[in-house]
Amino acid sequence: MERIPILKMGQVLLVTIQIDLYDRLALSLESDLVQMVKKTSAKGVLIDISAVSIVDSFLGRIFGNIASMCKILDAETVVVGMQPAVAITLIELGLPLTGVHTALDVEKGMILLNSNIETDVDTTDDLNEDDNYAF
Amino acid sequence: MIITLFKVSMRIERDQDVVPFRNRVKEYAVKIKMGIVNQTKLITAASELVRNMLKYAKGGEALIEIVTQGRYNGVRLSFKDQGSGISDIDLAMKDGYSTEKSLGLGLPGAKRLVDDFNIISNVGHGTTVVVIKWANG
């Protein structure tokens, strides 16, 4: 069966969707991604949709699901490279993709994810220091 | 008066039929020089309607037509199924209403994306949805 490849780059999983997804492929991407997050302890997921010409309510819901599921597993999701026509259509359709981070391109998405991962590390450090003070 | 210049019909039976159908719609939208934003809106609406047909009526017939009215060219799509029909169309056209576990955006969303939207449903006999998107609408 056809599958969308998931690449691991440091703490981030990178997915580039190069074809128009049919339903079953989108659903298997969803479960593959969530399992990969667990397996690789990834802190971020970056989905590049620059080659996707259509995002309908089904695919929009899949992106929302992926973001919520990864969030529970402590990973942030960023969708990057959306075409302007797709953004216009999504809003008119009534699907604002709430809960999904977006960035203009892969590079900006990576910066966003890395800054999130770094702040996470910082806050943990702060907590540890507080602990030390208590003792 | 709307005149049909060209038509092609496709059977939609499985979810794998959705992408080829969308590609055909795109092909005809490109033929009449529809802009990229209108193309995207039309194909997204088509995708929503075809998905409805699969989900609620286990498939049906989709007709793609190139139509002309005066100086305007457009794409008309008709979706005809033999499903159980919709008993309350006003309710079905409401944002967020769904009898299945979905977002309930299909019908109202598709209506917002096209220039002309018509739905006829007979309970027990099926539903027909006809939409038009003009190339420069």
Mutation test of the interface with chain A: which of B44, B52, B54, choosing the one with the most A Cβ atoms within 10 A?
A: B44
* Mean pLDDT, chain A, whole residue set: 88
User: What does DSSP assign to residue B9?
Assistant: E
Measured between CA atoms, how close is A32 to chain B, in angstroms?
A: 20
CA–CA dist B120, B108 (Å, integer): 15
Chain A, nearest residue to B39 by Cα: A85
Domain of A104, in residue numbers? 6-134
Report residue B105: phi and psi, to 5°: -105, -15
Q: Per residue in B55-109, pLDDT tens? A: 889 999 999 999 999 889 999 999 999 988 888 888 888 888 887 767 777 899 9
Answer yes or no: are the C-beta atoms of A75 and A109 closer than 8 Å. Answer: no
Look at residue A46 and tell me if it is in a domain: yes
- Reported as half-sphere exposure (CB side, CA atoms, 13 A), residue B59 has a value of 10
The CATH class that applies to domain B3-134 reads alpha beta
CATH number at residue A32: 3.30.750.24
What count of other Cβ atoms lies within 10 Å of the Cβ of residue B10? Answer: 15
pLDDT of residue A23: 86
Contacts of A58 in chain B (CB under 8 A): 47, 51, 102
The predicted pLDDT at position A75 comes to 95
Q: Hey, how many other C-beta atoms are within 10 angstroms of the C-beta on B36?
A: 15
Chain A residues touching B95 at Cβ < 8 A: 94
In B, residues 52-91, which contact A (CB 8 Å cutoff)? none
B44 at the A interface (CB within 8 A)? Answer: yes
Res A127: pLDDT: 53
Residues of B in contact with A23 (CB under 8 A): 15, 18
Q: Contacts of residue B39 in chain A, CB cutoff 8 Å? A: 85
pLDDT tens digit sequence for A74-93: 999 999 999 999 999 999 99
* CA angle in degrees (0–180, nearest 5) for B54-B87-B25: 35
Residues 69-108 of A with CB under 8 A from B: 83-86, 88-89, 92-95
The candidate with the shortest Cα–Cα distance to A34, out of A76, A71, A69, A62, is A69
- Minimum distance, in Å, between the CA of residue A55 and any CA atom of chain B: 7
Backbone torsions φ then ψ of B100, nearest 5 degrees: -100, 180
Task: Tally the domains of chain A.
Answer: 1
Q: HSE on the CB side for B131, CA within 13 Å?
A: 26
Position A60 pLDDT exceeds 60: yes
A1 assigned to some structural domain = no
CB atoms within 10 A of CB B27: 11
Q: Which residue of B has its CA nearest to A97?
A: B103
CA distance B27 to chain A (A): 13
Residue A95 lies in a domain: yes
Q: Are A46 and A71 in contact (CB under 8 A)?
A: no
